[in-house]
Amino acid sequence: MSGFSVSWLDLREPADHAARDPALAASLVSYLQADTAISPIIVDLGSGTGSTLRALTRKGAQRCVWRLVDHDPALLNEALRRHGQTEIIEDYQADLREVAALPLGGLTLLSASALFDLVSDELVDALLARVSQQSAAFYAALNYDGRTQWTPAHPLDEAVLAAFNHDQRRDKGLGPALGPDSAPYLKAALEKLDFTVHTADSAWQLGPAQEALQADLITGIRLAVADAPDLTEAALDDWQAFRMAHAGSGQCVVGHIDVLAFPAGA
Ligand SMILES: C[S@@+](CC[C@H](N)C(=O)[O-])C[C@H]1O[C@@H](n2cnc3c(N)ncnc32)[C@H](O)[C@@H]1O
């Protein structure tokens, strides 16, 4: 998988944090803090620089042991630099595909953000099998759901979105990606394992204040659909120029779904 830079993760984080469903996050924090005698162990997969740690500690998660798992040592080092003095962090450089080797022992919660749309159904099943053996909770925020709606509209928006969503299912290093199906797949798989599952909308609401993120998104979509058979280069140039011209004044909604699940009896 191509790398995720600190600067790209920083660019998207304010939109991510504004989008996370507050009720699901509050319910999770209450669950984690219910027993003041224990330190919840949270394993955050594909942690990047610690976005989930920041989101949940701001909502009141305390006394947690944060096991941050990522294959990119630069991102883990940045997480340690930002939070190593104030939080208990155990950093693990590991490949998520090696499920049996992931440090899931004794965990209270398996979390992730902006990850599961990149992951295959097979990998989800293997991860959930390990989580369910331990009666741990599960929280996956910000799973892309296939919606990208622009204002003002351009005649090619629909065709570009169809090509983009097709590309979202490409194997990006974690198996054939679930893409927009990730949240419904997670929900069904968790329910099969007797979890109580809650889902909520966590769409990005991007306006002129998020011009840089809109511009980055437009460039990323253009790259992703460059080889789509029914879109000519000239048509895509026109679409990209129109979208860029409106990035500082228009709106964009990018659909995501948060998934929170508690084990049976919790
Ligand atoms: C879209 S980023 C999300 C980062 C972070 N959760 C956030 O919300 O800012 C995906 C993360 O998954 C990590 N990742 C991708 N493939 C991985 C793999 N095979 N093993 C471990 N981590 C991986 C990337 O390094 C990156 O940090």
Q: Which residues touch 53 (CB under 8 Å, ≥6 apart)?
A: 42, 44, 47, 66, 68, 79, 83, 87, 89
Amino acid at 203: A
Question: Is the pTM for the entire model greater than 0.95?
Answer: yes
Q: Which of 42, 69, 72, 182 to mutate to test the pocket of ligand 1 (most atoms within 8 A of CB)?
A: 72
Q: Which residues touch 216 (CB under 8 Å, ≥6 apart)?
A: 8, 11
Q: Which residues line ligand 1 (CB under 6 A)?
A: 1, 4, 9, 16, 46-48, 51, 70-72, 75, 95-97, 113-115, 173-174
Asked whether the predicted pLDDT for residue 116 surpasses 90, the reply is yes
Look up residue 59 and give its DSSP letter: T
Give the residue from 45, 46, 43, 49 showing the smallest Cα distance to 9: 49
Q: Which of 12, 43, 80, 96 to mutate to test the pocket of ligand 1 (most atoms within 8 A of CB)?
A: 96
207 three-state secondary structure:
coil
Give the tens place of pLDDT for each residue, 32-78. 999 989 999 999 999 999 999 999 999 999 999 999 999 999 999 99
The dihedral built from the CA positions of residue 32, 38, 44 and 47, taken in this order, carries a sign that is: positive
Which domains are assigned to the chain? Answer: 6-262 (3.40.50.150)
Rounded to an integer, what distance in angstroms lies between the CA atom of residue 227 and that of residue 221?
11
Give the tens place of pLDDT for each residue, 235-244. 999 999 999 9
Residue 232: count other Cβ atoms within 10 Å of its Cβ: 10
Asked whether the predicted pLDDT for residue 12 surpasses 90, the reply is yes
